[in-house]
Amino acid sequence: MHEEKMITAPDGMELFHIKDMPENPKAIIVLVHGLAEHCGRYDYVVKKLNEFGYGAYRFDNRGHGRSGGKRGYLDDFQKFIDDTDLFVDLAKKENPQIPVFMLGHSMGGFITAGYGCKYPGKLKGQVFSGPVIIELDIFDPLKEMDVKNAPETPIPNSLSALICRDRRVVEDYENDPLVLKETTLKLLTNVFIEGVQWLGENLKNYNYPCLILHGGDDQIVDKASARYLYENTASEDKDIKIYDDFFHEILNEAEKDQVITDIQEWIQKRI
């Protein structure tokens, strides 16, 4: 079953989401995408999850894809986290008694970790793909910019060549009309500086079972971010795996089936 719908957040924001369900799902996965992209880039991942017997809910973050909001703009990173909770609640309401997990990539990994700190006890576990957990050097120049007086200053999306070793993935990304060609100073500083600082202060509250995955040659989010998450959560059930030579989008590399299988096997043991 494939459904595409809009849901309205408490502040009136319209959020686009897709639901893909096999018959008699064994688990539900809520997917959270990264900066500048959209949930439609996860069609293959969802197809494989469905084949494993897992249902999937995915959505476009506000300001992204087919969701509402000013493109690439956000005034409060907590809205990303609270929006995600809407879809967890929807998945749980529509699938009572079925365990719900979360999978977050890159900025979606930040949102996923933030969700774990803010909303304990609602999920069976979380999976991270190249998560942003620590401050990244690429955003250091933003600290010198005037976000207070010019929050909507456009910042070009200029890292496409580094997302994946597969040139076809890069070309598809660059030609995708729903991928943002620029974001804003406010979103980037609010999430990747202020949000990451908040996360560091609150990771002590995180205790979900978690699987942390990262590309060994990720040149956008250093693998040190994954190791920091692994070393600084109170979770008793946690695993980490670094894939040698993989770039940032490990779910789009040529060896993506191995990554997805690793995720499936981890989830299967916790259903």
To the nearest 10 degrees (0 to 180), the angle between helices 78-94 and 107-118 is 70
Tokens for 86, please give them.
């809407």
CA dist., res. 265 & res. 78, Å (int): 31
**Catalytic option among 60, 83, 218, 222:** 218
CA neighbours closer than 13 Å in the CB half-sphere of residue 227: 7
The pLDDT of residue 148 is 87
- Mean pLDDT, 10 residues at a time, the chain of 271 residues: 96 98 97 98 98 98 98 97 98 97 98 98 98 92 85 94 97 98 97 96 96 98 97 96 98 98 98 94
The pLDDT of residue 134 is 96
> Is residue 235 flagged as an active site residue?
no
The pLDDT of residue 149 is 86
> Is residue 106 flagged as an active site residue?
yes
The pLDDT of residue 143 is 86
The pLDDT of residue 221 is 97
- What is the pTM (predicted TM-score) of this model? 0.97
Give the domain 2-268 fold.
Rossmann fold (3.40.50)
**Domain spans in the chain, listed from the N-terminal domain onward:** 2-268
> Is residue 222 flagged as an active site residue?
no
Tokens for 130, please give them.
């190249």
Cα-Cα-Cα-Cα dihedral of 22, 2, 55, 241, to 10°?
A: 120
CA dist., res. 135 & res. 156, Å (int): 19
The pLDDT of residue 129 is 98
